[in-house]
């Protein structure tokens, strides 16, 4: 029994360590996203000031149309660059967290299964039904996790495809303009 308690303590320690790693990774990604947003806001403000100055110097409608045309392409390019930056940060975050979670989940599942198996070996006679039920629940939980993991990966692939398509469409529109 003491060995089983030690195993459960080791499982809990590993879970806490993985949560701390996930928290640190998440905070790093939030910091990167905040820096991107701050830099984008600064650039937007600088562009707005420059654009306002150029707008104040406009003397006729043709100059206004030329100014708008000249400002449209860089604005779209900056918006696409920003969306790419956000996508890159979020994609890297998702990939990093996914790797951490998958690695820790596999290890925790292995440790937990071993501990449960040892506990079930010490079960009193006549508890075969309970042992079978516990094993069935563990198998169902494992199956549900695998299904959820596959669905998550499919959703991620669909999102990546949509982002690539949207960026390609934006680049095509910029070239056409």
92: Cβ contacts below 8 Å, ≥ 6 apart: 29
pLDDT score of 1: 44
Alpha-carbon Rg for the chain, nearest whole angstrom, is 27
pTM over 0.85: no
Find the farthest-apart pair of alpha carbons in the chain and give their distance in angstroms, rounded.
96
The pLDDT tens digits along the chain (177 residues) read 445 677 677 777 877 887 888 888 889 989 999 999 999 999 999 999 988 888 888 888 888 888 888 888 888 888 888 988 988 888 888 877 778 777 777 777 777 777 677 776 776 777 777 777 777 877 787 777 778 777 777 777 777 787 777 777 777 766 666
pLDDT score of 38: 96
**Cα 32 from Cα 5, distance rounded (Å):** 41
Structure tokens given for 4: 């089983």
Domain that holds residue 86: 2-176
Structure tokens given for 166: 């949207």
DSSP 13-60: HHHHHHHHHHHHHHHHHHHHHHHHHHHHHHHHHHHHHHHHHHHHT--S
Please tell me the total count of domains within the chain.
Answer: 1
């Amino acid at each position: 029994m003491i060995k089983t308690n030690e195993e459960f303590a080791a499982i809990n320690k590993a879970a806490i360590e993985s949560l701390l790693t996930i928290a640190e990774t998440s905070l790093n990604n939030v910091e990167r996203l905040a820096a991107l947003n701050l830099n984008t806001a600064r650039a937007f403000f600088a562009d707005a000031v420059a654009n306002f100055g150029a707008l104040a110097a406009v003397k006729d409608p043709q100059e206004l149309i030329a100014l708008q045309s000249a400002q449209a392409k860089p604005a779209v390019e900056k918006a696409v660059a920003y969306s790419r930056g956000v996508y890159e940060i979020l994609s890297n975050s998702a990939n990093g967290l996914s790797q951490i979670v998958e690695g820790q989940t596999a290890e925790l599942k292995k440790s937990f299964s071993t501990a449960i198996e040892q506990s079930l070996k010490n079960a009193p006679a006549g508890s075969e039904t309970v042992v079978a039920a516990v094993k069935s629940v563990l198998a169902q939980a494992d199956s549900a996790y695998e299904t959820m993991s596959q669905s998550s990966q499919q959703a991620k692939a669909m999102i990546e495809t949509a982002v690539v398509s949207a960026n390609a469409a934006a680049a095509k529109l910029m070239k056409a303009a």
